[in-house]
């Protein structure tokens, strides 16, 4: 009896062929390893317009969210995380459709939301107390939740761990189930590592979220267009449509954009002021020295060429060059890694949520690398480590109850009074 080539099962007339999904490589591309350059693609203009329309929609939506403020940006990050996790969970399940276990998808989401509570609970503990200090009941409630947050997360995780153990029933499924368990944890590490840094950057100032994210987008668009019109030399086998012309052209464009775009963003208080609580009101603050212009005189030989004799530069623009260099040289390797990952699973994109772009994971591959670097760079070279009165007051407001703050006030008064009498 004739058997199927892949499964060894008998071929029957009524057997239904599985339809190829939209994000899988068509057979002809698999055979050629997708080696066609973008400059030679016959359908490149149609693809370009689809990507352009999707990009405009994303840009418009992002602009509205940026205007609404920090909390809405955070909500956007959470929604993107959920889409990314869904795409990655589907990727593993799709590769083993005939072996999926009932209830395992629900267990995946249990671990996901437990991880979300753990990561964001730690961030909330730093911001939420300042928001509710005026109400004693809510202050005590929030303080209790913050105090026991790690305990709650730990036992939620243990509950999921026990749930997983109980599902181990068939010996032939053990290897697959443990593989799924490891896959779930890898997804959580990938998704939440970068997102926690992203949210931390948001509260340091929207500038530190928007500039790195924009540089990745600018680099991606520039690489696409340089490759679209000039790309002839393949860059890396993992991404056959990437070219040296696109990579170099995008690097130069990104560095130039980083320097001037930082100047534009740095002129808005809404983008540069840090958020100390979870309120949504308009921010006002004294500009950080990074966002105060410094003036550099032009050489006299340029006086006849330009109407001005000096140029103003924000100090943050020099930091922006470092971010631009990373976004153009290092961050693209996150995309190369994702390309290799997709080829290992023989798919074109992680999903099809964004027309012309693929899924959310396809758009976030380089962003994940960039977000971590932006946070590390910000904490290492930008944020001042000198202690100030404002820093101590902020810690007091976050960590002491109103009664403890009043006791501290009385004791400080006694100390100052004692010093005054000793000196007199």
- DSSP label at residue 382: I
- DSSP label at residue 383: S
Share of the chain above pLDDT 90, in %: 34
The CA–CA distances, whole Å, from 130 to 125, 126, 275, 398, 400 equal: 10, 8, 11, 6, 11
29, 24, 240, 238 alpha-carbon torsion, rounded to 10°: -130
Overall residue count recorded for the chain in this entry: 424
User: Does residue 6 surpass a pLDDT of 50?
Assistant: no
Q: Which two tokens stand for residue 395?
A: 């810690």
pLDDT at position 41, please?
Answer: 59
pTM of the entire predicted model: 0.77
- Give the count of beta carbons closer than 10 Å to the beta carbon of residue 319: 19
pLDDT at position 3, please?
Answer: 43
20-62: pLDDT as tens digits:
455 555 544 444 444 456 555 556 667 778 877 888 888 899 9
204-257: pLDDT as tens digits:
999 999 999 999 999 999 998 898 888 889 888 888 888 999 999 999 999 999
Share of the chain above pLDDT 70, in %: 79
334-385: pLDDT as tens digits:
988 888 888 888 888 787 777 767 788 888 889 989 999 999 999 999 987 6
DSSP assignment string, 235-261 = EETTEEEEEHHHHHHHHHHHHHHHHHH
pLDDT at position 171, please?
Answer: 79
User: Does residue 316 surpass a pLDDT of 80?
Assistant: yes
pLDDT at position 344, please?
Answer: 83
Q: CA 120, CA 139: separation in Å to the nearest integer? A: 18
Mean pLDDT of 258-271: 95
Q: In which element (H, E) is residue 297 found?
A: strand 294-297
């Amino acid at each position: 009896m004739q058997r199927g080539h892949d499964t060894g099962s008998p071929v029957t007339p009524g057997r239904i062929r599985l339809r190829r999904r939209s994000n899988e490589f068509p057979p002809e591309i698999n055979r050629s390893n997708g080696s066609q350059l973008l400059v030679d693609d016959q359908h490149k203009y149609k693809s370009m317009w689809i990507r352009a329309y999707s990009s405009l929609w994303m840009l418009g939506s992002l602009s509205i969210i940026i205007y609404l403020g920090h909390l809405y940006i955070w909500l956007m990050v959470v929604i993107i995380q959920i889409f990314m996790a869904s795409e990655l969970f589907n990727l593993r399940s799709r590769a083993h459709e005939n072996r999926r276990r009932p209830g395992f998808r629900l267990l995946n989401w249990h671990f996901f939301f437990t991880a979300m509570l753990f990561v964001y609970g730690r961030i909330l503990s730093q911001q939420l107390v300042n928001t509710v200090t005026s109400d004693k009941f809510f202050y005590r409630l929030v303080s209790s939740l913050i105090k026991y947050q790690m305990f709650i997360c730990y036992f939620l995780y243990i509950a999921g761990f026990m749930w997983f153990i109980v599902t181990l029933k068939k010996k032939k499924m053990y290897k697959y189930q443990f593989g799924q368990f490891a896959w779930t944890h890898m997804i959580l590490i990938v998704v939440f590592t970068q997102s926690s840094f992203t949210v931390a950057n948001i509260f340091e100032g929207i500038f530190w979220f928007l500039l790195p994210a924009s540089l990745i987008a600018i680099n991606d668009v520039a690489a696409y267009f340089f490759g679209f019109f000039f790309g002839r030399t393949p860059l890396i086998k993992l991404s056959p449509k990437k070219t040296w012309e696109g990579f170099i052209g995008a690097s130069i464009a990104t560095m130039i954009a980083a320097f001037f775009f930082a100047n534009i963003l740095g002129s808005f208080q809404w983008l540069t002021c840090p958020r100390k609580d979870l309120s949504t009101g308009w921010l006002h603050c004294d500009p950080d020295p990074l966002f105060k212009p410094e003036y550099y005189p032009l050489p006299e030989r340029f006086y006849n060429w330009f109407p001005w004799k000096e140029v103003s530069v924000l100090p943050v623009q020099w930091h922006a060059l470092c971010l631009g260099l990373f976004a153009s040289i290092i961050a693209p390797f996150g995309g190369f890694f994702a390309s290799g990952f997709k080829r290992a699973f023989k798919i074109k994109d992680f999903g099809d949520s964004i027309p012309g772009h693929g899924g959310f994971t396809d758009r976030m591959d380089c962003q994940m690398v960039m977000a971590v670097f932006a946070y590390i760079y910000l904490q290492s070279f930008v944020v001042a480590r000198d202690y100030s009165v404002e820093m101590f007051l902020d810690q007091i407001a976050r960590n002491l109850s109103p009664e403890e703050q009043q006791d501290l006030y009385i004791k400080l008064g006694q100390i100052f009074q004692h010093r005054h009498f000793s000196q007199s």
